[in-house]
Amino acid sequence: MSGNRFNGFSNHGVGIGLRIPHYKEIFSRKPVVDWFEIISENFMCDAGRPMQVLERILEQYRVVQHGVSMYFGSVTEPDPEHIKRLKALVKRTGTPWLSDHLCWGSVDGNYTHDLLPLPYTWEAVERTVERVKRVQDTLEIPVAVENVSSYAAYNDSEMTEWEFLNEVVVRADCGILFDVNNVYVSSVNHEFDPLDYVNAIPAERVAQIHIAGHSKYEKYILDTHDHPVIDPVWTLYERAIERCGYTPTLLEWDDHIPSFDEVHGEALKANRYLNAAKKSNAAMVGAA
Partner 1 sequence: MNTHRMSLLELQREMAAVVMTPLTADEGMREKTLDGRRTKAIAEKMIAPNSRLSSVERLELYNRQYWFRVLDSLAEDFGSLRKVIGSKRYDAMAIAYLNAYPSRSFTLRNLGSKLPEWLAEHAEFTGRRQKLAVDVAKIEWAFVEAFDNAELQPLNMEEVKTLSSESKLQLQPHLRLVALNYPADEVVLNLQEREGRQASEAGRAEEHEELAPMELGAMRAKQTWLAVHRVEYNVYFRRLVKEEFEILKAIECGKRLGEAIQAGLSETRIAERKQAAVLREWFQNWAELGWLCAKDE
Contact residues toward partner 1 (CB under 8 A) are 41, 44-52, 69, 73-76, 78-79, 81-82, 104, 106-114, 116, 118-119, 121, 123-124, 127, 151-157, 189-191, 219-220, 222
Nearer to partner 1, 35 or 104 (CB): 104
DSSP H/E element including 7: none
Q: What are phi and psi of 208, to 5 degrees?
A: -160, 155
φ/ψ region of 116 (left if φ > 0, alpha if ψ in -120 to 50, else beta) reads beta
Round to whole Å and give the CA distance between 15 and 166.
Answer: 26
Shortest distance, position 168 Cβ to partner 1, whole Å: 14
The rounded Cα 50 to chain-centroid distance in angstroms is: 22
Shortest distance, position 88 Cβ to partner 1, whole Å: 12
Nearer to partner 1, 133 or 190 (CB): 190
Type of residue numbered 19: R
Nearest to 32, CA basis, from 261, 239, 206: 261
Shortest distance, position 200 Cβ to partner 1, whole Å: 21
Shortest distance, position 183 Cβ to partner 1, whole Å: 17
Round to whole Å and give the CA distance between 183 and 196.
Answer: 10
Type of residue numbered 76: T
Nearer to partner 1, 200 or 222 (CB): 222
Shortest distance, position 152 Cβ to partner 1, whole Å: 4
Nearer to partner 1, 49 or 272 (CB): 49
Nearer to partner 1, 9 or 154 (CB): 154
Round to whole Å and give the CA distance between 276 and 55.
Answer: 35
Shortest distance, position 157 Cβ to partner 1, whole Å: 8
Round to whole Å and give the CA distance between 193 and 186.
Answer: 10
Nearer to partner 1, 89 or 274 (CB): 89
Dihedral sign of CA atoms 205, 208, 209, 212 in order: negative
Nearer to partner 1, 74 or 247 (CB): 74
Nearer to partner 1, 50 or 228 (CB): 50
- Residue 8 · residue 36 · CB < 8 Å: no
Shortest distance, position 153 Cβ to partner 1, whole Å: 5
Count Cβ neighbours within 10 Å for each residue of 71-110 and write b for 16 or more, e otherwise: bbbbeeebeeebeebbeebbeebebbbbbbbbbbbbeeee
The DSSP 8-state label assigned to residue 2 in this structure reads B
Shortest distance, position 271 Cβ to partner 1, whole Å: 32
